[in-house]
A and B are shown apart, each in its own frame.
Chain A
Amino acid sequence: MDILNLLIQGTLLGGLYALFAAGLALMFGVMRFINIAHGDFIVVSAYLLLVAVLTLGLHPLVGIALVTGLMAGAGYLGQRVLLNRVLDEDILPPVLVTFGLSIILQNALMEGFSADSQRVPAGGFDTASLSLGSEIAIGLLPLSMFLAAIGVLGVLHWIFFHTHLGRLLRATADDAAIVPLMGASNAHTFALATGIASAVVAIAGTMLAMKTNFDPTIGPSRLLFAFEAVIIGGLGNIWGVLAGGIILGVAQAIGAQIDAGFQILAGHIAFLVVLALRPRGLFAKS
């Protein structure tokens, strides 16, 4: 029963990691761009929800919608105003600019909210659970988060394969240089990609805020989880990201069972094993 429980908890956690990873994978796929501040944007979203719920007194769901819209807009603008200017063959400028952003965000959050650990109350929902038999209880919050994660990935899949924007994003991922000859602006497409990725980041960050304690410094480790889920799952595959997230989540759950200090390490080791054996990921496309 213990094993089953671990698998369930790890899988549910994996849904959140898949959301962390989806935004990162989207941006890398479309513009070969890795946002080092990705995890910090997740944390910023968590703080925004904190403000929306605790300061403005909004319902968490309203707060999530608000933060998602805000982050999507900020992502679009940030890409157009800042990040598009450093995108080219050379990978150093985008890495450095987002590394700089990461340091700025962490310290700005520290300045604004102090280093104290925070959590957004989900109104009793966070403690409710569904019991299956005598030994297994599934928390309603983790379960609904997992379902929401699948829903978000489903929407991304729909955008990618059933809309003109998705066609444009796939074309840009293939060969951005000639997309302007199709009448579409790269600057706009890149910004739309970042806008969508930021909306996903916001959903992930707000879930994180209700699920666990957070403080300004936890961004980088969320970046690493996202990155690991992407690599484990394999590039160019939306559902691979979910598989990658679940494998990472299960590995961490098993690690935590062995020793509390082993949780994160076990996830990293799972990633390194995949990297050693299947560097293109488990479910890479072609």
Chain B
Amino acid sequence: MADATVPLTKSGFDPAALATRAAIIVAVGVLATAPFWASRADLRMLMEALSFLALAQMWNLLAGYTGLISVGQQAYVGLGGYLFFALAMFAGIPVLWAIPLAAGVAALIAVPVGWLAFRLQGAYFAIGTWVIAEVFRLLAAQFPALGGGSGISLPVALAKSIAQTRGGRETVMYYVAFGIALLSVAGVWLLLRSRWGLALTAIRDSEPAAASLGVDVRRVKFMVYIATAAGTALTGAFIFLQKLRITPEAAFSVTEWSAFVIFIVVIGGLGTIEGPILGVILFFALRDLAADWGTWYLIGLGTIAIAVMLIDRRGIWGALRARGVPEIFATRRVLK
């Protein structure tokens, strides 16, 4: 293994790097102009896909780099959604400000919750987080002001405060989704290239080795847990702004916000930034294809996830990387 630092600015001509850079710019450009070319249905689908991308990046950051397998991140999707509704409806916070604020409050709540969850290790942590998400779901149903078990809708006046016309609202909401997704990808990328990234990569490769290098493994994991809780809640707040209605079942759905998200990350490729992106594209393509399959679609999805674990647990991107496809988001400082 040779140590080599990836230069931040590339000197010399590298066609592969130029091509990937061009591809990123084109992709971001196409997405950034979507309200001008996409149909209303496409725009809604894109918003949903961008939300899933953000959720997938958060789960990937947690599981792929710190090894914390959570089956309970729906706790923060739902918490973000409910906090957003509460802040916007009862605290009078402007709708677009209520979204980041909900994420901030969720991060605060994640501190004691994380303390509790961290008392469990490995697979027990996974199920423990699920119990906590269930507690959140059952508690949400106990607040009559938030609609109790049957849920609540966002008042029309609040929705209209974003923009008067439906088209205008959808454009604004699209850019919120676009911003959140961009933030999740860029945030994870920058985090991994920072001093923290070294610690995270060390933890991913070997926890004992990281600890022997002086990394405070527990603290780093906890900080990442809080950060992903905030990112997940941010996305959750947006998701329920887009849906305009929230119920405990929808907000804390394990299938929607854990199973789908985990399958996206794992099928795409865990522990890479490209994996979740690829996973989201595949997931939505498959969903489009299987629109009429009903339960068979879910059976198929579960089967694919199992197949990935049996055939190549690095996922599609990991398998492509092993066959020489270059990294798009260079985060590694050490070349293997």
Contacts and interface: CB of A to CB of B under 8 A. Distances in A.
* Chain B binds chain A: yes
Interface of A: 28, 32-34, 36, 82, 85-86, 90-97, 99-104, 106-108, 110-111, 220-221, 223-224, 227-228, 231, 261, 264-265, 268-269, 271-272, 275-276, 279
A265 B259 contact: no
A34 B130 CA distance: 13
A238 to B, nearest CB: 18
Interface in B99-143: 116, 119-120, 122-124, 126-128, 130-132, 134-135, 138-139, 141-142
Given A95-B71, A110-B295, A276-B119, A100 B302 contact: yes
B309 interface: yes
Given A223-B127, A265-B135, A279-B119, A103 B255 contact: yes
Contacts of B182: none
Contact of A104 (B116, B135, B302): B302
A99 B305 contact: yes
A264 B122 CA distance: 25
A34 B126 contact: yes
Given A220-B254, A269-B135, A104 B127 contact: no
Contacts of A100: 263, 301-303, 305-306, 309
A103 B123 contact: no
A92 B67 CA distance: 8
B247 to A, nearest CB: 14
A101 B306 contact: yes
Interface of B: 63, 67, 69, 71, 116, 119-120, 122-124, 126-128, 130-132, 134-135, 138-139, 141-142, 149, 254-255, 259, 262-263, 266, 270, 295-296, 298-299, 301-303, 305-306, 309-310, 313
B295 A265 contact: no
B301 to A, nearest CB: 7
A223 B132 CA distance: 14
Contact of B124 (A82, A90, A231): A231
A34 B266 contact: no
Contact of B69 (A95, A108, A265): A95
Nearest to B258: A99
Contacts of A275: 116, 119-120, 128
Contacts of A106: 298
B69 A92 contact: yes
B41 to A, nearest CB: 26
Nearest to B113: A272
Given A100-B303, A107-B298, A261-B138, 11 more contacts: A33-B123, A86-B310, A95-B71, A103-B255, A103-B302, A107-B295, A220-B130, A224-B127, A231-B124, A264-B138, A265-B139
Contact of A272 (B127, B131, B254): B131
Nearest to B126: A95
* Highest count of chain B CB atoms <10 Å: which of A28, A96, A221, A261: A96
A281 to B, nearest CB: 11
5 contacts: A92-B313, A107-B296, A111-B299, A227-B128, A275-B116
Contact of A107 (B71, B141, B299, B313): B299
A103 B299 contact: yes
A279 B135 contact: no
B306 A224 contact: no
A96 B69 CA distance: 10
* Highest count of chain B CB atoms <10 Å: which of A91, A110, A264, A279: A91
Contact of B134 (A85, A108, A268): A268
Contacts of A96: 262, 266, 305-306, 309
Contacts of A101: 302, 306
B125 to A, nearest CB: 9
A268 B310 contact: no
A97 B307 CA distance: 8
Contacts of A108: 295, 299
Given A34-B127, A272-B116, A86 B309 contact: yes
* Highest count of chain B CB atoms <10 Å: which of A99, A264, A275: A99
A275 to B, nearest CB: 6
* Highest count of chain A CB atoms <10 Å: which of B116, B134, B303: B134
* Highest count of chain B CB atoms <10 Å: which of A33, A103, A221: A103
Given A261-B138, A264-B138, A227 B127 contact: yes
B112 to A, nearest CB: 10
Contacts of A95: 69, 71, 123, 126
Contacts of B116: 272, 275-276
Nearest to B260: A103
A101 B305 CA distance: 9
Contacts of B254: 220
A36 B122 CA distance: 13
Contacts of B139: 265
A268 B135 contact: yes
Contacts of B310: 82, 85-86, 97
Contacts of B306: 82, 96-97, 100-101, 104
Contacts of A231: 120, 124, 128
A228 B310 CA distance: 30
B123 A99 contact: no
B135 A103 contact: no
